[in-house]
């Protein structure tokens, strides 16, 4: 265990899967997070002392440099959905990413992996995607041999996509969505982690990889598949973009008035802008095929963690079995 990787944001949804896989590869793993006391769940990923959470804020030069000291590889998983405040899009996804890449180049880090997203573009009409695109440009300027991963929407046990809408489906017959015809290509979180490990260990060629699962579907289609898994019938109501903009603007304004004390967890205007664009792998882009990874299908994974949203939860299969016995 002589090799060391520093994973910025390594306790989050994707970062924890990368940390686990890096530990399994025999690396020492330094998980750089703002609240190490809330990241203790990563320590059992390896033997005693192999995986350690450490204090870091990627907006702070000294802490980034300190947590990167001695690292052979660096993975940046830090992202945000906050437009305002100190940890806004530009501070985290552009300046923070640039800081990590610059210090990695200065300290002689061998491999750098950066987690971005499909749609990242410095000229995007979405502030989120624009900051992601500017961050990628800054990374490649400082560290040209970086591996940049652009996943579509990521699903898995702890996701904020299927879990969110499955939770909403428990409360009423109508499930409102924005951009029902927008296409996505959901990718399993562990497939993204596997790609990141290939980059961190030098087994993936430098470049930008767009990561999408084996199936692409509309937002409406994905919600329909989720409803089938949780055994619920709901009317999927597509909100027009102009209505969603009004709702998002109202919640954005409320968040602004309260100085961020009330956060907009419903939908922001920037998210509405993003939902106008398909989120699928571009034609000709490098992806899982070039990495030698066969991505996981949604149907193989969704029932493993969405069962808790079924009307009878884990008892649904038992009740169905008992019902069949009464028919015999």
Tens of pLDDT, residues 173-195? 999 999 999 999 999 999 999 99
User: pLDDT (tens digit, 9 = 90+) per residue, 11-51?
Assistant: 999 999 999 999 999 999 999 999 999 999 999 999 999 99
Give the mean pLDDT of the chain: 93
Residue 315 falls within a domain, yes or no?
A: no
What residues form DSSP beta bridges with 112?
74
Whole domain around residue 124: which residue ranges?
Answer: 4-158+186-215+279-295
What does the alpha-carbon distance between residue 103 and residue 108 come to, in Å, rounded to a whole number? Answer: 9
Q: What is the gyration radius of the CA atoms in the chain, in angstroms?
A: 21
Residue 239 falls within a domain, yes or no?
A: no
Structural domains in the chain (count): 1
Based on the number of CB atoms within 10 Å of its own CB, is 316 exposed (0-12), middle (13-18) or buried (19 or more)?
Answer: middle
pLDDT surpassing 70 at residue 323: no
Residue 52 falls within a domain, yes or no?
A: yes
Residue 236 falls within a domain, yes or no?
A: no
What does the alpha-carbon distance between residue 312 and residue 41 come to, in Å, rounded to a whole number? Answer: 29
255 vs 222, residue with greater confidence: 222
- For 114, the 3-state DSSP assignment is strand
User: pLDDT (tens digit, 9 = 90+) per residue, 74-102?
Assistant: 999 999 888 777 888 999 999 999 999 99
Residue 107 falls within a domain, yes or no?
A: yes
CA dist list (Å): 269 to 77, 250, 275: 24, 9, 10
Contact 162, 302 (CB under 8 A): yes
- Domain harbouring 206, CATH code: 3.40.50.720
Residue 110 falls within a domain, yes or no?
A: yes
Residue 226 falls within a domain, yes or no?
A: no
pTM reported for the whole predicted model: 0.93
Structure tokens at 196: 């990141």
Residue 16 falls within a domain, yes or no?
A: yes
End-to-end CA distance of the chain: 60
- Give the mean model confidence (pLDDT) for residues 126-133: 96
């Amino acid at each position: 265990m002589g090799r060391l990787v520093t994973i910025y944001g390594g306790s989050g949804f994707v970062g924890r899967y990368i940390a686990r896989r890096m530990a399994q590869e025999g690396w020492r793993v330094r998980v750089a997070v703002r609240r190490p006391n809330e990241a203790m769940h990563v320590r059992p990923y390896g033997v005693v002392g192999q995986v350690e959470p450490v204090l870091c804020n990627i907006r702070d030069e000294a802490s980034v440099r300190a947590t990167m000291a001695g690292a052979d590889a660096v993975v940046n998983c830090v992202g945000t959905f906050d437009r305002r405040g100190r940890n806004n899009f530009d501070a985290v996804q552009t300046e923070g990413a640039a800081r990590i890449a610059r210090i990695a180049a200065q300290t002689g880090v061998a491999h750098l992996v950066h987690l971005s997203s499909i749609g990242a573009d410095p000229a995007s009409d979405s502030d989120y995607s624009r900051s992601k695109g500017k961050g990628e440009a800054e990374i490649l300027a400082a560290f040209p041999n970086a591996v940049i991963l652009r996943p579509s929407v990521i699903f898995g046990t702890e996701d904020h996509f299927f879990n969110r809408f499955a939770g909403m489906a428990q409360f009423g017959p109508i499930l409102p969505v924005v951009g029902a015809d927008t296409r996505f290509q959901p990718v399993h979180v562990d497939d993204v982690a596997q790609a990141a490990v290939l980059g961190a260990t030098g087994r993936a060629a430098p470049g930008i990889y767009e990561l999408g699962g084996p199936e692409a579907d509309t937002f409406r289609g994905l919600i329909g598949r989720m409803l089938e898994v949780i055994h619920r019938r709901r009317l999927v109501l597509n909100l027009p973009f102009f209505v969603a903009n009004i709702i998002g603007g109202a919640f954005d304004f409320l968040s602004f008035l309260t100085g961020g004390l009330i956060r907009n967890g419903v939908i922001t205007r920037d998210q509405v802008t993003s939902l106008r664009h398909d989120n699928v792998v571009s034609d000709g882009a490098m992806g899982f095929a070039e990495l030698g990874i066969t991505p996981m299908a949604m149907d193989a994974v969704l029932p493993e963690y969405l069962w808790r949203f079924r009307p009878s939860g884990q008892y649904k299969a038992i009740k169905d079995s008992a019902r069949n016995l009464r028919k015999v």
